[in-house]
Amino acid sequence: MSFEIIKRYKTFDGETLFCQHESQSTKTIMKFSVYLPDKIEKIESAIIWLSGLTCTEENFITKAGAQKYLSHTKTMIICPDTSPRGLGIPGEDDSYDFGSGASFYVNATTENYRDHYQMYDYISLDLLKLLREDFGVTKYSIMGHSMGGHGALMIGLKEKDLFHSISAFSPIVNPVECAWGKKAFNGYLGSNEEGWKSYDTCELVKSGAKHKNPILIDQGLQDEFYPDQLLTKNLESIAIELGLDLQVYYREGYDHSYYFISSFIESHIQFHLNYLK
């Protein structure tokens, strides 16, 4: 077993685990949580959940209520932390939207961040290796929320042969066009905006990225970040133009919180289970 179990809790006949392991990509200890359904020996597939700004490996697994819908399936879920931590990089902990808890799931190239903030590789290489070798998983799907919704769409499209299905809650679909994304990409990738495009979902789709299965998005209409940071409509119009099969559900009255996620997590899990069969 390549990881250490820190805490474990029986949940809906299965188990919620909090774990840590050494990441080859980030060269740090990384934390993650998993939910293993009741028949661990029968696990065949995994959903990766990527969380949003300020979150850790804990938010989703304690608040979303996902365990119930996985408990008697052959699918586990794994929820990594949102960045390396405690590296002593100047300014690393100064803001909620950059550095610790805010990796944006890219491979950083700037001097201060390139040694450890290799989160794209952490998700697409290290986590998949762990799932394959320690859990025997052979099929993967990916989903996330906000910054993690950006991560899920972006990684899912770039690694389209690895992931059977992709979904997101309230994703940042066009980071090169919003303040959160510009700050993060500038800090992790430098000032050359051309280099940002390969981590931007809208730009990827413009360049021809597609997926064999429909992509599911849920977006709350009372989400305070919807108009200026998430820019859902940008992706929707590009998808229509270029024939990407995108299903966006706009939800009246819902905001950016886990109360929104918990209300619709069942439909996202069912969506992924359908393609992981």
Determine the distance from the C-alpha atom of residue 101 to the mean position of all C-alpha atoms in its chain, rounded to a whole number.
13
DSSP single-letter state for residue 240? H
Active site residue 146: yes
What are the helix (H) ranges across 42-198? 59-63, 67-70, 119-121, 128-135, 147-158, 179-189
Does the protein bind a copy of itself through residue 41 (CB under 8 A)? no
Comparison of 222 and 247: residue with beta carbon closer to a copy of itself? 222
Taking CB under 8 A as the binding criterion, the range among 10-18, 84-92, 135-143, 235-243 that sits at the site for a copy of itself is 10-18
Task: Establish if 254 lies at the interface with a copy of itself (CB under 8 A).
Answer: yes
Binding of a copy of itself by 54 (CB under 8 A): no
Q: Is 33 a catalytic residue?
A: no
Told to judge if 207 belongs to the known catalytic residues of this protein, a careful annotator would answer: no
In contact, 79 and 49? CB cutoff 8 Å:
yes
Decide if residue 226 touches a copy of itself (CB under 8 A).
no
Taking residues 196 to 225 in sequence order and writing x for each that binds a copy of itself by CB under 8 A, - otherwise, the string is: ------------------------x-x---
For residue 194, how far is the Cα from the chain centroid? 23
Closest by Cα among 247, 94, 108, 115 to 168: 247
Nearer to a copy of itself, 9 or 96 (CB): 9
The single residue of 33, 146, 165, 170 carrying the catalytic annotation is: 146
Q: Which is nearer to a copy of itself, 249 or 259 (CB)?
A: 259
CB 260 within 8 A of CB 220: yes
